Amino acid sequence: MHRRGAKPGDLIYVSGPLGSSAAGLKAINNNLVGFEQTKFAHLEPKCRIDIIDQIAPYATAMIDISDGLASEVHHLCKSSTCGALINASEIPVSEEVYKVAKTLGLDPLNLA
């Protein structure tokens, strides 16, 4: 599967909540107490290879979003020569990411 297969009308799906790695890095860099699961998400990222067979029949393009949703959707669109509209209210963000963001005065969507 390549990045260049996306086309107008395709939907964008993610395989789980976003922002855990960025929140984990912020928690580590700011010496936040707790948030161990979020810190672990940054230190030991997991690739969702368990769902590849379920996704493959429907996907026209794929990309890992370890660098964040915005930058990776940009790469996908550039490779596919199309654009994308993202509804911020539909972006899945875990409660832990919200807690880290609140503690540090950040926007949780920026972590995603």
3 state DSSP class of 37: helix
Q: What value does the mean pLDDT take over residues 15-28? A: 94
> How far apart (Å, rounded) are the C-alpha atoms in residues 73 and 58?
18
**Domain chopping of the chain, boundaries:** 3-111
Q: Which fold has domain 3-111?
A: Phosphoribosyl-aminoimidazole Synthetase; Chain A, domain 2 (3.90.650)
pTM metric for this prediction = 0.85
Share of the chain above pLDDT 70, in %: 99
Q: How confident is the model at residue 32 (pLDDT cuts 50, 70, 90)?
A: very high
Residue listed under structure tokens 């976003």: 18
